[in-house]
Amino acid sequence: MGSESVKVVARCRPLDDREKTLCCKMVLSMDVHRCQCFIEKPGAQDEPPKQFTFDGTYYINQTTEQLYNEIAYPLIEGVTEGYNGTIFAYGQTGSGKSFTMQGVSEPATQKGVIPRAFEHIFESIQCAENTKFLVRASYLEIYNEEVRDLLGIKKKIIFETRRHPICSL
């Protein structure tokens, strides 16, 4: 894993029950040691798979615990030392963003990045001497171009996202 300030990792989830019932075929494979993904075009055996390299790759048998220790742990350590850090999950619906970020309590290895980060931060605070920490938390969702406050009593829309007419950000 390099020391760039922005790291991109890819995680592949297993086929779900619906996909298994439909006899879907896995078109993605990974060489996790080389951090490479290979995507085959179904029905095109003669074509070589498309190949992509990331800062990290996590296949169906790998856990959120592994991902956290390799990717998030160093970043959260930096945060407790006063550096800024951001982790976000990006992917189409059903791709496993909530599974990775929020996770499940059983098995414990699949506990999500968010609860792991909270435990990590508060353990570091407990162990620190002569340092005051201020922890602020908010929980927002951007869904259909609307920003919602998930900690609010009602899921109130607090902003609507807008695109800049020129640079489209």
Ligand X SMILES: Nc1ncnc2c1ncn2[C@@H]1O[C@H](COP(=O)(O)OP(=O)(O)OP(=O)(O)O)[C@@H](O)[C@H]1O
Q: Provide the annotated binding site.
A: 91-98
Looking at the Cβ atoms of 15 and 79, the one nearer to ligand X is 15
**Quick check: 13 binds ligand X (CB under 6 A)?**
yes
**Quick check: 107 binds ligand X (CB under 6 A)?**
no
d(CA 137, CA 149): 11
Candidate residues 3, 21, 93, 130; the one interacting with ligand X per rule CB under 6 A = 93
Cα separations (Å) of 118 from 42, 77, 137?
A: 42, 12, 10
Candidate residues 99, 115, 146, 148; the one interacting with ligand X per rule CB under 6 A = 99
Could you tell me which residues are annotated as the binding site for ATP? 91-98
Residue sitting closest to ligand X (CB)? 96
Looking at the Cβ atoms of 13 and 77, the one nearer to ligand X is 13
Burial category of 116 from C-beta neighbours within 10 Å (exposed 0-12, middle 13-18, buried 19 and up) = buried
CB of residue 97 vs ligand X: minimum separation in angstroms? 4
**Quick check: 94 binds ligand X (CB under 6 A)?**
yes
Looking at the Cβ atoms of 61 and 84, the one nearer to ligand X is 61
Q: How many residues touch ligand X (CB under 6 A)?
A: 11
- Using only C-alpha atoms, the chain has a radius of gyration, in whole angstroms, of 19
The set of residues, in sequence order, having a beta carbon less than 8 Å from that of 34 and lying 6+ positions away, is 53
**Quick check: 148 binds ligand X (CB under 6 A)?**
no
**Quick check: 119 binds ligand X (CB under 6 A)?**
no
Instruction: Identify any residues that bridge with 159 across adjacent strands, giving them in sequence order.
Output: 147
Sites of contact with ligand X (CB under 6 A): 13-14, 16, 91, 93-99
